[in-house]
Structure 1
Amino acid sequence: MPIATAQQPHGQPRSIAQVQIDARSTIDRAREAYRLGDYETAVQLWQQLAREFEEGGDRLNAAMAWSNLALSDRQLGRWEDARTAIARSFSLLETTEKSGDRDRVWAQAADIRGELYRGMGDLENAIASWQEAAKLYQLSGQNDRLLNNQLNRAETLQDLGLYPRACNAFLTALEIESQDCDLSDSQFEQFVNYLWNDRELSALKLRGAIGLGNLFRLRGNLIDSATILSKTAQLSARIDDRALQAIAYLSLGNTQRFLDDKEAAFASYARSAQLATSEFSQLQARLNQLSLTIALKPESESTNLARELENQIGIVPLTQQGIYAEINFAKSLIQLATKIPESQESPDRFAERSRENFDRAERILQRAIDRTRQLGNARAQAYALGTLGKLYEARQDWDRAIQFSLQALQFAPSYTAPDIAYQFLWQLGRLESHTGDLDAAIAHYGEAVKTLQALRSDLVAIGDEAQFSFRESVEPIYREFAALLLRRDRQVSQADLIQAREVVESLQLAELDNFFQDACLDTQPVQIDRVDEKAAAIYTIILSDRLETIVSIPGKPLKHYTAEVDRPTVEAEIEAMRLYLTDPRRRSAIDRFQQISQQIYDWIVGPASVDLERNAIETLVFVLDGGFRNLPMSALYDGEGYLIEKYAIALTPGLQLLEPKPLQSQTLSVLTAGISEARQGFVELPGVESELDRIANKLPTKRLLNPSFTEANFKTTLDRSSFPVVHIASHGQFSSDADQTFILTWDDRIDVREFDTLLRRNAQGAEPIELLVLSACQTASGDKRAALGLAGVAVRAGARSTIASLWYVSDRATAQLMTEFYRQLSDRPQSKAQALRGAQQALLQSEEFSTPYFWSAFVLVGNWL
């Protein structure tokens, strides 16, 4: 960078060399003061340099000094001064002749302007300014500055909740060859090795690794997040960067908390606080310790720590991070105020303690609101106002809670800040429900759901400035909205029922999006009448205090039925039925099983039974909620027989995911693949070969067995020929974790996300697979949401229908059921659901396999036609 000449005091000229030496010395001192956190000294030195450069007519170096002055003012919370300084920098640059030196200074000024925008919460302009700087850095080959710039952009996209775009930005910055964050095992291992073995390890690369680790956590990839952050903490120690190490441990603690390893998280927060090189970094770690202490430790420990932190919270910088720290602390005080009292605490003392904590939280939030106004940060102001509304909600001061929630939405409307707006729309809906203003509550819940749906493409894992949890932050909105629409103290109209049905379907879709961490599913709502005039759709939704069922019969108004049973009771009966189906020790207790099964039948099918019979319904299509998805509806007992004896049965995540086309009438051909031998720690499946032989006796087949069933062979075979039916007989598992949902091949596993590339037909005009059969997979034991994996496989595979087993059934029973299924499918025109019903009835009527364990395990997901 060129150094300007200047004049000696009292008009005595200095040599150019002396001017250059003095200026360089002052610049070095200013930069060192900034690095050490002595921002007042840095401001004084940059002011001196800016003045001297301007007096000497050196516009370029004056612009450099003004932009650095803006950065130093920012650190002191002097935002007006910072804005004035950066504006002066660009004013000088605009009147400076274009050159390579001007481009370098312009790039640095644009970078600093981006940081100012970010601090003020103007994230879109921050990104635009950084993009401008990046182009100039690329032209001038300033690679380190470019990497810092890329990381700034990636972190800001993450702040906005635009996780897929943030992920791409981090991957680009770290030179990882992948289109998204769904790294393969080899790519992930390569990245970790690259970090560990890089001889030119830098703080910037480790900062990028921390950003990627945080992003993995936000997207639900917790194990990989913990691995990256743990490695980064170690590597930060290797390069002796305590500040970076503190950040890595803080992030690792957040991930460990989501892994429910609270003790490890507590230790990581403590380590972060110990390593922190600034008071504010230490405060951030201790604030996270506080929220964990409230959950884990006695009230006295939480209270003592909160009092210690209250003295520190008053001196946080006037920055977005500083304001979020205040809001974080206020949230902890609200949590402490509502914590259930210890047994020895009197009711009066608990009330007094709650009041004290509420009052302290209110003071801190009011201060935070004032500071957001000084900063001009609309997003931070919305969070502070909304959190104050939450405080009044906890105090049951409904009017003031509504007032501040509405104010929050003024600063974060859904069209500019949807990731914030949905939270406070939800909050307003809750509050209005409490005050009895049901129309307003329904309107605000509806807006919250619409906002969530609009965010699908960029914002799958939605969260506030803390950490994201789908089950806490998104799922309740759908359930509470449905509960509101179906409230017992209001007249439920057809419009309410239609909207409630749409809410149930939207929840199913949101759960699948969250399962994949990707808004990957194309949807188009369809009516049951358009699909099958002889099919009825049954929607269930489990609420905290009751079970609601909506029934859709073609040509008839929707109906709904309420079972007065709370969630714990429903979940207990679901678990009991599952145990009697799958536990060998209970399997023979058929009377007890039928008793439990009939109870569930009475809740969700019994009330509609007369209407189903009157309208000659032949197929029941279930859109199931929660643990019901782990149960076979075919095994519900009505007191005389099983449901499969009256109806063909199918499951679907929702009619909007359905492609309403029947099985083609042309001759069916099948690609069969399987493993009969023990592989990769899984036991042998001796009946697989016989199963595939029996299918070949019924339909034309191409078989891949044992060594020939590799992922590469499977893909090549599918690419070369068109098979309407694909039948896989191999070990596999359905789990609520996409990373634990897989099909075993001879040498590897097919991950659920890989079904897109393996099974979807890419050739122009190619028909999708009509039917995918998975005959030896099972839902993960003990995983109450494991059927999400089954639904995930079904929709990701691109097949119109999927048949799979909820638990592993004996080889002989499976072979017999599959043989009968394909015989039914090939012998006469009928739907896939009817063919499966015929096969299940054949086993039910046999002497050997008549218990539900054998015949009810297999379910049809998707298009039943």
Structure 2
Amino acid sequence: MKTKKKYLKILTSARQWIEMLLKLRNLCNQLINFSTHQHQKPNRHQKFIQVSFLTILLICVVFGQVGFAQVPNVAALVEEGIKDYNTGNFFNAIKHWQEALNQSKNNPSSTAVVNEDLARAYQEVGENKAAIASLSAAIRDYGAVQNIQQVGRMQSELAQVYSNLGQPRKAIALLCGQLVEKSRISDNQPSQEIKCTPESAEQIATKYNDKRGKIAALGILGEAYRLIGSYDQAIKYLHAAQQVSPAYDFLVLNSLGNAYKSRAQLHELQANSAKQAGIFSKEKEFTNKSAADYNQAREYFQNSIKLARNRKQALAEMRGLLNLIQLGSSQTNETKVIDDETFNNAHDDALKLLKDLPDSATKVYGTIDLAYLQRHSQGTSPFTYCPTAMVLSDTEALNFLKSSVLTSNKLQDNRLQSYANGALGHFWECRKDSKQALKYTQAAIIAADKNLSAKDSLYLWEWQAGRILDEQEGKKEEAIASYQRAFDTLEDIRQDILTAERDVQFDFRDVVQPLYRTLARSRLDLLGVGAIADERRAKELSQVVNTIDALKLAELQNYFGNDCILSGLNPKQVGELLQDNSVAFKNTGFLSSIIFDNKTGILLQLPNQTTKFKWIEDSNQEGTNKIIHSDKLQKKIAEFRTGLIKGEVQVNYDTTTAAQLYDWIIRPFAEDIKPETVKTLVFIQDGFLRSVPMAALYDSQQQKYLIETYAVATTPSLRLTTPKVRDRSTQKALILGLTQQATIDGKSFDQLFSVPEEVDAVESIFPNHTDLIDDKFFPESFKQKLEKTTYPIVHIASHAQFGIIPEDTFIVTGKNQKLTISQLENSLGNLNSKLDSVELLALTACETAVGDDRSTLGLAGVALQVGVKSAIASLWSVNDQSTSELVKTFYTNYRDTGISIAEALQKAQIRMINAKNLPPSEGINIKYDNPVYWASMIAIGNWL
């Protein structure tokens, strides 16, 4: 009896403790990690620096588990886990809590708590997949016991993990339930009311008046929108978080600083794009917007630092200081946001604060940031080049990097250990100490590869190891193996890297592109050293083709900023496609280019034949070949293109440059592409070569243009092209045209006098047509027509501009409006089924930014982006009746199902070349033999 009373007394006491501790736990959980858990990919300046309510989080872990006292064995396991967690022994904590979980399987109120804390421990050791599983289980268990408020909090924590992994769209789905697409918002629109679904984290926090939970949801939501490039939305949500409660303003202010900085960088790009397009009023507007946003970012960072300092939040203060410093180091000569005194003071404050910081991720990454800090950085990642003017001396930087390794080892965090060792390895790489460099780089690789805990930095260290090995005698093949592993890893995570912060688009050129080119070049260089068996040579060239193809896919994905462009990607590699489609590809040759710093290569692929490769060379006076420097080639390309565009004023076109380029690019493969066996050449171009109208290259020996011998087409990648002959005997066409002068964003577009004749020509060939001309042609009318009727052919006779960013890619419509690439995609989006898809999109009055390879990338990718199979587009606009002449002949040929699309265009172009030899009854102007009138038109995508 005494035993029973004693037990009841203990149990009552335990319940009182549980009630009190659950209240404490609720308080703790209100302080869930907010947007300062900001994950920066390792190719950015700011690496994984995380500032959270760390101390409170630990208290939550301790108090959250005492409620297990009534189950002695489970309670003991939980207690051991708490002790391990508090001392930084996260793996032991996980072990104890997993065992506790196994013993509490039928008690969701218990398993919810354990899963919650397991998730935090998993995050500490970089096991994000396990963290996701634990948080998902916690959400399920809290839902089972009707603790809906806690469900919302766990959704916010889960959203943070997804955001950390570079999956912000998943984070947004959890936090708000719906994604506001960027195309639906703009700077000019008023702030929209936040509308989230009832089951989302934000709405749960609102329903339960959970202020700090709502701050967390809105803050992480703002960060997620920033990561997908929707900066206006990000700023809106962060300002909303600021209105909920001022208690954690220093966290919100820090995130706002990041959002305004990102938008400032976007405005800089827009200013550059406007400048290149000659829209100087827009250039000034965007320059002013950029400056205003940079200043706003500086103010937010400074205010965040001040508030965090006043509230003795050292980790948050350090985060703000590092953000302010990086803002100062990334500024250009045009945008000096922070003066030297402010920069130096922030740097000194960070150095002082660093000494007293507790061992943490913030301390490790902050130490590395300060070690590599430059007043004026040269790129977005200090690990892709050797910094030449670091603020700290070599000795100071080395000591900082060594201390970061020691701290990461204490914390037993694989991700931290990987980054710290990799950073130290890079230091020695830049000092040419290959032994030390390789030692620390390999340690970084091992840590990153452990449980795949840091896959998003693994490629950096594999790449780094490749560079180190490349500098050593006889290590070329080991270097290539490292480059290949880096490439394979990057291919796995490329989508997340390239679609995040896509408007700024520096990561790709600074990190992804150089790695792909380095791997391709290393393999090609290896082929030039010593005797290599034909089988090995074929394998190496196959790998080069795959690398180049991956590079071009990555460029498209980065340019458009989403993975829609890759939705139709064939999983097979190029070599397999050539083999599988040998019948469809019969009589077709594929020429792929790859541009390096000092030379350019061309690969030729033919179905069921080994790949051929040659560097672009020129014969000197001694009769020997000399590799042409890429700069010289680029200048010659620009000369060629300029000569073509200006050819309108010439009576007879000078073919000298066209002949020289033919000798460099085509003639080396003459024996492999004899006209008897090869009828069509498909070009898969790189960089500045995309702007070359290959049809106009001139064979001086045969005195023929290339197009007179071969049908010519282009595609960004064979893996994005579906080669298939389609029935073209009966077609319905939607014809859109603009004849009037138009003004878009302050830029004037000339009247297109020949468009009425072009429209008449297309209408005569396709009696079953609908036309929208001038004021009848605008974005909404275009969309409405497509919603009502399916048109296999969409012909647009209007100015089309392709800028260096997608926002500057648009078609000019009536009423001084523009149809953006996003609107075009949305309008055609409903027609992407096999039965209803648009077969051919024609754009006949394009303008591309000469000399910028990104604009011509937009031209080549636009058809794929909007989901059409084939496109006909011009590389420059010809305001002449010649366009209607060419279009009319092309469509007439196109209706002939016996020839391919490329051949239909070829025949139309040859007809113009022969203008002087045609009888007067043909009614064709004899000047149309000049390539200015026919060479700009190219076939893109499916050429069959």
**TM-score scaled by length of structure 2:** 0.74
Partners of 2:930 and 2:908 in 1: how far apart? 14
Matched, 1:520 2:567: yes
Matched, 1:274 2:303: yes
Decide whether aligned partners of structure 1 residues 245 and 579 sit closer, same or farther in structure 2, where only a CA change above 3 A counts.
farther
Matched, 1:78 2:87: yes
Partners of 1:496 and 1:16 in 2: how far apart? 70
Partners of 1:726 and 1:614 in 2: how far apart? 33
Matched, 1:418 2:455: yes
Structure 1, 434-443 or 21-30: larger mean CA deviation: 21-30
2:765 — aligned with what? 698
Partners of 1:107 and 1:290 in 2: how far apart? 41
| C-alpha displacement of 1:825 | 2.7
Partners of 1:48 and 1:699 in 2: how far apart? 76
Which of 781, 791, 796 aligns to 2:860? It is: 791
Matched, 1:128 2:145: no
Decide whether aligned partners of structure 1 residues 843 and 281 sit closer, same or farther in structure 2, where only a CA change above 3 A counts.
farther
1:404 — aligned with what? 440
1:347 — aligned with what? none
Decide whether aligned partners of structure 1 residues 245 and 295 sit closer, same or farther in structure 2, where only a CA change above 3 A counts.
closer
* Structure-to-structure mapping, 1:583-598, within 5 angstroms: 588=649, 594-598=655-659
* Structure-to-structure mapping, 1:311-460, within 5 angstroms: 311-332=352-373, 357-413=393-449, 416=452, 417-436=454-473, 437-455=475-493, 460=498
1:317-338 C-alpha deviation (Å, 9 max, x unpaired) = 3333433323333332799899
1:497-521 C-alpha deviation (Å, 9 max, x unpaired) = 2222222112111212223321423
1:137-181 C-alpha deviation (Å, 9 max, x unpaired) = 4456655543332222122122223x2xx31331331243x4xx7
Q: What is the DSSP-based 3-state SS (H/G/I as helix, E as strand, rest coil) of the residue aligned with 2:895? A: helix
Which of 508, 525, 548 aligns to 1:470? It is: 508
AA of the residue aligned to 2:759: L
| C-alpha displacement of 1:273 | 3.6
2:273 — aligned with what? none
Partners of 2:61 and 2:674 in 1: how far apart? 85
Partners of 2:610 and 2:102 in 1: how far apart? 70
1:119-143 C-alpha deviation (Å, 9 max, x unpaired) = 3322222222221222244456655
1:452-496 C-alpha deviation (Å, 9 max, x unpaired) = 3333566654799x9971111211111111111221752572322
Quick check: 2:841–2:872 contact (8 Å CA) kept in 1?
Answer: yes
2:283 — aligned with what? none
1:647 — aligned with what? 710
Decide whether aligned partners of structure 1 residues 438 and 592 sit closer, same or farther in structure 2, where only a CA change above 3 A counts.
farther
Decide whether aligned partners of structure 1 residues 15 and 824 sit closer, same or farther in structure 2, where only a CA change above 3 A counts.
closer
* Structure-to-structure mapping, 1:587-666, within 5 angstroms: 588=649, 594-609=655-670, 611-613=672-674, 616-639=677-700, 640-664=703-727, 666=729
Decide whether aligned partners of structure 1 residues 302 and 590 sit closer, same or farther in structure 2, where only a CA change above 3 A counts.
farther
1:285 — aligned with what? 320
Matched, 1:802 2:843: no
Q: What is the DSSP-based 3-state SS (H/G/I as helix, E as strand, rest coil) of the residue aligned with 2:423? A: helix
Matched, 1:153 2:147: no
Q: What is the DSSP-based 3-state SS (H/G/I as helix, E as strand, rest coil) of the residue aligned with 1:114? A: helix
Structure 1, 315-324 or 628-637: larger mean CA deviation: 315-324
Decide whether aligned partners of structure 1 residues 362 and 257 sit closer, same or farther in structure 2, where only a CA change above 3 A counts.
farther
Which of 251, 254, 266 aligns to 2:258? It is: 251
Q: What is the DSSP-based 3-state SS (H/G/I as helix, E as strand, rest coil) of the residue aligned with 1:729? A: strand
1:346-403 C-alpha deviation (Å, 9 max, x unpaired) = xxxx99x879733333333333233333323212222222222222211122222222
Task: Return the structure number with greater relative CO, CA threshold 8 A, min gap 6.
Answer: 2
Decide whether aligned partners of structure 1 residues 672 and 368 sit closer, same or farther in structure 2, where only a CA change above 3 A counts.
same
| C-alpha displacement of 1:650 | 0.7
AA of the residue aligned to 1:832: I
Quick check: 2:127–2:451 contact (8 Å CA) kept in 1?
Answer: no
Quick check: 1:333–1:361 contact (8 Å CA) kept in 2?
Answer: no
Partners of 2:849 and 2:673 in 1: how far apart? 34
Matched, 1:484 2:522: yes
Partners of 1:501 and 1:697 in 2: how far apart? 44
Structure 1, 611-620 or 647-656: larger mean CA deviation: 611-620
Partners of 1:46 and 1:714 in 2: how far apart? 58
Matched, 1:541 2:579: no
Structure 1, 84-93 or 754-763: larger mean CA deviation: 84-93
| C-alpha displacement of 1:286 | 2.4
Specify every segment of 5 or more residues in structure 1 that has no aligned partner in the other structure, as ranges: 340-349
AA of the residue aligned to 1:604: I
Which of 499, 502, 510 aligns to 2:546? It is: 502
| C-alpha displacement of 1:819 | 0.9
Partners of 2:543 and 2:18 in 1: how far apart? 73
Which of 935, 938, 942 aligns to 1:856? It is: 935
1:31-84 C-alpha deviation (Å, 9 max, x unpaired) = 999999998899899979988x89xx7779x989x899959x97xx63249976
Quick check: 1:120–1:377 contact (8 Å CA) kept in 2?
Answer: yes
Decide whether aligned partners of structure 1 residues 362 and 686 sit closer, same or farther in structure 2, where only a CA change above 3 A counts.
same
Partners of 2:665 and 2:836 in 1: how far apart? 36
Q: What is the DSSP-based 3-state SS (H/G/I as helix, E as strand, rest coil) of the residue aligned with 2:847? A: strand
Quick check: 2:733–2:769 contact (8 Å CA) kept in 1?
Answer: yes
Matched, 1:229 2:276: no
Which of 171, 177, 193 aligns to 1:169? It is: 171
Q: What is the DSSP-based 3-state SS (H/G/I as helix, E as strand, rest coil) of the residue aligned with 2:835? A: coil
Partners of 1:338 and 1:356 in 2: how far apart? 18
Decide whether aligned partners of structure 1 residues 95 and 499 sit closer, same or farther in structure 2, where only a CA change above 3 A counts.
closer
* Structure-to-structure mapping, 1:109-128, within 5 angstroms: 110-128=115-133
Partners of 2:91 and 2:723 in 1: how far apart? 60
Quick check: 1:734–1:740 contact (8 Å CA) kept in 2?
Answer: yes
Decide whether aligned partners of structure 1 residues 773 and 159 sit closer, same or farther in structure 2, where only a CA change above 3 A counts.
same
Q: What is the DSSP-based 3-state SS (H/G/I as helix, E as strand, rest coil) of the residue aligned with 1:830? A: coil
Q: What is the DSSP-based 3-state SS (H/G/I as helix, E as strand, rest coil) of the residue aligned with 1:79? A: coil
Structure 1, 795-804 or 826-835: larger mean CA deviation: 826-835
AA of the residue aligned to 1:194: E
Partners of 1:34 and 1:562 in 2: how far apart? 58
Partners of 1:189 and 1:290 in 2: how far apart? 31
Decide whether aligned partners of structure 1 residues 315 and 652 sit closer, same or farther in structure 2, where only a CA change above 3 A counts.
same
Partners of 2:542 and 2:158 in 1: how far apart? 42
| C-alpha displacement of 1:818 | 0.7
Decide whether aligned partners of structure 1 residues 471 and 521 sit closer, same or farther in structure 2, where only a CA change above 3 A counts.
farther
Partners of 1:485 and 1:696 in 2: how far apart? 52
Structure 1, 504-513 or 209-218: larger mean CA deviation: 209-218
Decide whether aligned partners of structure 1 residues 302 and 791 sit closer, same or farther in structure 2, where only a CA change above 3 A counts.
same
Q: What is the DSSP-based 3-state SS (H/G/I as helix, E as strand, rest coil) of the residue aligned with 1:620? A: strand
AA of the residue aligned to 1:225: Y
* Structure-to-structure mapping, 1:679-718, within 5 angstroms: 681=744, 685=752, 687-706=754-773
* Identical pairs, percent: 25
Structure 1, 799-808 or 36-45: larger mean CA deviation: 36-45
1:592-648 C-alpha deviation (Å, 9 max, x unpaired) = 975544454343224334543475533221110012212322233445553333332
AA of the residue aligned to 1:809: V
